[in-house]
Amino acid sequence: MRTSKLAQTTAALVLVACACAIIAFGFSYRGPLDRPNPYLSRATTDTGATNLVAGIYLDYRLYDSLFELLVFSVAVLGVRFYLGTTRQSPNTKAIPESQAVRASADLLFSPILLIGVYLILFGHLSPGGGFSGGAVAGTGLLLCAVALGAETVARRFHSTQLELFEWGALFVVLLLVLIPLIFGLSPFTDLLPRGAPGELLSGGTLLIYNVLIGIKVFVGTWVVISTFIRHRGEI
Amino acid sequence: MEMINGVTVAVVLFGIGLLGLIIRRDLVIKLLALGLVDSSVTLALVSLDARQDALTPIWQGAGLAYVDPLPHALVLAAIVINFALLALALVFVMLLVERYHTTDSHRIAHEIGRETEE
C-alpha cells in the first residue's frame, strides 16, 4: 500500500513535469515583435473606443462575449437550481456585527457603487467595462450583506424584479445582436454611428452592451452570493 | 530574456495546481488547485506581450508602442468562465457533502461503489 502510494505520487510528478515542459516549450516561440498589428492600427477608428481591449471584445469578437455572457447566466441558473433542491440552512439569523463594520459599510457602500457605475459607463474609454464594473458593484452589495445581514439586504431587493432585470438584460443583448438582420446585414453588425474617439458616446453600441453586461453581472453575483448564504448559513 | 518572467512563473504555478488536482483527495482543495491553474493561465496570457517600453492598450495617438490587446480580451472570457465554473463546482461539492458527509473523493467513490452493489 505504501509503495503504491509512492508510485502514484511519482507518476503524478512525472506527468505534471511533462505537461509543464510541453507548455513552456510552446510559449518559448515568439513571433517577430515588430510585425504590424491590425488591432493596434485600426481598432480605434473601427470601433470608436479608446480602450482597445473593449473594442475587441465588444465589437470584433462580440460573438465570444455573447457566449461568455450565456455561460455566466447558465452558471447563475445552475447555482440557483441545484441549491434549490437542498434544504435551507437553519442558521440564517444575522450574526451581530461590530460597530466598525457597520460604519465602514455605511461609508463605503455608495463610493463602491459609484465606482462600479463609472467603470461600466466609461468602459470603452478607460480600463473597466461591464464585467469588472458589475463585479465591483456586486462586491459593494456583499459588504452590505456582511454588515446588515443577507436577509435584510435581500428583503430590500424584490427577487422577482431582480430576475426580470437579469433576464431582461440578456434578452435585450440577444435582440440587439439580431437587429441588423432586419436590414439585411449579418448579425453582430454595429449600426450606430461613431463619435470622436475619447467622448462618452463615441463607441456606438459598445456603451449599451457595457451597461447591459454590467446589470447582468451585478445581479448575477448578488444572486450567487445570496443563494449560498441562504443555504449554507450567514457570513 | 530574463529567466524569471510572467510565463515561467505561470508554468510553475500551473504545475503546482495540476499536482494538487491529481494527488490531493479533498474536493475543496481540488477546486482551489483548479483555481490556481486558471489563474496561471490568466498570468501567462497577460504576460505574453508584456514589455517595459510599451503602453497599456488605451489609445493615446498613433506612433506609440502599445501592448497587444488581443490576449487581454481573451483573459476576460477566461476570468468569467473561471468564476462560473468554480461557483457551479462548489454547488456540486455541497450536494455531495450533504449526501455522504465527507469531502474526501476516495471515500465518496467508495460509498458510491457500495451503493451500486446493493
pLDDT at A45: 80
pTM check: above 0.95: no
Per the listing, cell 468562465 goes with B81
For cell 464594473, name the residue.
A133
Q: How many CB pairs under 8 A join A and B?
A: 118
ipTM of the complex: 0.86
Q: Is A149 left (phi over 0), alpha (psi -120 to 50) or beta?
A: left
> Which pLDDT belongs to residue B1?
57
The whole-angstrom distance between A67's CA and the closest CA on chain B is 9
CATH topology of domain B6-117: Helix Hairpins (1.10.287)
Q: Do B77 and A74 touch (CB under 8 A)?
A: no
Provide the pLDDT for residue A99. 85
Please answer yes or no on whether B68 and A86 come within 8 Å at the CB atom.
Answer: no
Quote the pLDDT of residue B114.
92
Contact A217/A140 with Cβ under 8 angstroms? no
- Mean pLDDT value across residues A191-210: 82
**Contacts (Cβ under 8 Å, ≥6 apart) of B75:** B42, B45, B46
Show the DSSP H helices in A38-87 as ranges: 38-47, 52-55, 62-84
Span A84-109, average pLDDT: 78
CA distance A97 to chain B (A): 26
Cβ of B83 under 8 Å from any chain A Cβ? yes
Query: Is A130 in a helix, a strand, or coil?
Result: helix
Reduce the DSSP state of residue B55 to 3 states and report it.
strand
| pLDDT, tens digit (0-9, with 9 covering 90-100), for A116-168 | 999 999 988 888 888 999 999 999 988 888 888 777 788 887 777 888 888 99
Q: Which residues 6+ apart lie within 8 Å of B108 measured at CB?
A: B27, B96, B100, B102
pLDDT tens digits for chain B (118 residues)?
A: 567 788 889 999 999 999 999 988 899 999 999 999 999 999 988 888 777 888 888 888 777 888 888 888 888 888 988 989 999 999 999 889 888 988 898 899 999 999 988 8
A133-to-A33, A97, B64 alpha-carbon distances in Å: 32, 27, 28
Confidence bin at A87 (pLDDT 50/70/90): confident
Chain A contact present for B54, CB below 8 A: no
